[in-house]
Amino acid sequence: MILLEGKNVAKVYENDRGLKEASFQLQAGRILALVGGNGAGKSTLIRLLTGQEKQQSGEIIWHQPQTIRFMPDDVNFPTMLTAAEILELLASLKQVDKYEQENVLKRVSLWDVRKQRAKHFSKGMLQRLNLAQSLLGNGSLLILDEPTNGLDPFWIAQLKNMMLEEKKKGNTVIFSTHLLSFAEEIADDVLVLHEGEIIISGAISEIFLQENSTSLEEIWLKRLNL
């Protein structure tokens, strides 16, 4: 079932970066990877999907109304607040009870440091707190912008498990990454972007069959004639 589709969606900034005439579809209950390097257009597309910005042309059509849970690529948490206080503040906006707040902190292994102020947290701990706030609530669409940033290999593996759990619940997951291997391991579908254009799209299994390859990197390099 199609959850949403984009038709010739464009959002280009003064530096000529952004998204240029992109058309795509997203299937409900699947994991979609947005893949590309810096400036490829991944975050621009996410800002459009989350309503942070409006496209200059084209249209994004939602076939089913969605409540979105969102993990931005970077969050400046109030440094003087503790992890528990930050999560409580954000949970109040989503009307999430205390039990779920505690459970989420335990899921990202921040329960034991919940009374520490954010200013004492490492990059990885802040990223796990960012992940925790995105898991709060009941939104059936989870959007994660560069979620592996700052995470060590153990927590990247944990992140994959959490994303698969969301899919098992019937939810839809969109995430951006510059790691082609990570997309291969976890995603059902992929949009590979380069300089604002979609150069590869579809179900990963079907792309591999069509290209007679088992490597997104190999296909990506071939499309760019590298």
Please give the model's pTM, rounded to 2 decimal places: 0.94
Count how many Cα atoms sit within 13 Å of the Cα of residue 75 in the half-sphere of its side chain.
27
More confident residue, 18 or 225: 18
Q: Which two tokens stand for residue 129?
A: 């707190």
Three-state SS at 2: strand
Q: What is the pLDDT of residues 164-187, one digit of tens each?
A: 999 999 999 999 999 889 999 999
- Count Cβ atoms within 10 A of the Cβ of residue 203 and give its class: 0-12 exposed, 13-18 middle, 19 or more buried: middle
At 33-54, the pLDDT tens digits run 999 988 899 999 999 999 999 9
What pLDDT band is residue 8 in, cutting at 50, 70 and 90? very high
pLDDT at 200: 92
The residues, ordered by sequence, that sit 6+ positions from 170 with a Cβ below 8 Å of its Cβ are: 29, 140
Report the DSSP beta bridge partners of residue 190: 33, 202
Domain at 2-67+139-223, CATH from 3.20.20.70, 3.20.20.140, 3.40.980.10, 3.40.50.300: 3.40.50.300
pLDDT at residue 226 in the model: 56
The rounded distance, in Å, linking the Cα atoms of 205 and 181 is 14
Backbone angles phi, psi at 213, to 5 degrees: -150, 160
The DSSP code for 67 is P
